[in-house]
Structure 1
Amino acid sequence: MNLISTRQFVALTGLSRATIWRYRKKFPNFPQPIVLSPSSIRWVEQDVDRWIDALRKVA
């Protein structure tokens, strides 16, 4: 399991940080972060990749 930062998530998707947090609450299939500490949040890279692939299949 490879964990990525929010900054890396932004780079992979082109979404802003605000949009990522909005999508987290709005879309149930959106990848959820892993909270390591109050100031450290990571995302499972494979979950992000699967989400991107699912979007490509729909588009």
Structure 2
Amino acid sequence: MGRREQRTELDGRYRHMLSEIAAMTYPIDAYSMWKGVEAPLHPGAERYYRQHEYLK
């Protein structure tokens, strides 16, 4: 399964919920989903986000 299919599947898990109560926002935006997270990113996740220019 490619990234686009994975994102579509994940979006679909939350799309039926009101955005005020959903665990995640949708559509998923990789450029902002890491913001406001109080826990540090896993080093592999941070590397991935930097390589794809999601972290700036």
Q: Which has the higher contact order (CA 8 A, sep 6+)?
A: 1
- Higher strand fraction (1 or 2): 1
TM-score by length of structure 2 reads 0.31
Larger Rg: 2
